[in-house]
Amino acid sequence: MYFASTGVFAFGLFATDIFVNAGQVVTGNLAPYFLIVCKPNYTGTECRFNHQFISNGNICTGNQGVVEKARRSFPSKDASLSVYSAVYVTMYITSTIKTKSSRLAKPVLCLGTLCAAFLTGLNRVSEYRNHCSDVIAGFILGSAVALFLVSTGFKLFN
């Protein structure tokens, strides 16, 4: 029982990571700190004119690896993975732990894991690593994967 639920958890973690990576590559939204790491060359030929879109790929003068990472903001990977883990663990705790001695043990554990995931999202926004919409989309994606896996394989927890 334990190994089966651990395997399902790992599968969901990898599935969530794949969905997030696909979303980040397809959308290509810029992180809030993009201009800081891009260090754009405003004296370039296309920047002198009033263009809405710059097609020249050599406009960024910053480290290319960091610039590529800053181009992948939507959905937030940290928010998605943290809420996936929190929802999965919460459903695991509520399904498997049967105790009558302390009635507050399960709610405190569950709310603690969900609170940690929520604080991860707040931290990403407050440090200007993601936009609020990136974090919300990550929360929705991670929750959806966890709820889907638990609803389809719920007999693993019994």
Other CB atoms within 10 A of residue 75 CB? 26
pLDDT, greater one: 88 or 42:
88
Whether pLDDT at 90 is above 80: yes
Domain boundaries, the chain: 2-28+74-156, 30-71
Q: What is the pLDDT of residue 158?
A: 56
| Of 56 and 149, the one with more pLDDT | 149
- Residue 136 tokens read as 């919300």
Contact 13, 145 (CB under 8 A): no
Neighbouring residues of 116: CB distance < 8 A, sequence distance ≥ 6? 82, 86
pTM here is 0.83
CB of 13 closer than 8 Å to CB of 89: no
Q: Which two tokens stand for residue 44?
A: 């370039």
- Residue, of 45 and 142, whose pLDDT is higher: 142
Q: How far apart are CA 20 and CA 41, in angstroms?
A: 31
Exposure b/e, 102-125, CB count within 10 A at least 16 = b: eeeebeeebeebbeebbebbeebb
Answer with the residue of higher pLDDT: 104 or 55: 104
Q: What is the pLDDT of residues 91-144, one digit of tens each?
A: 888 888 777 777 788 888 899 999 999 999 999 999 999 999 999 999 999 999
The whole-angstrom distance between residue 32's C-alpha and the CA centroid of its chain comes to 16
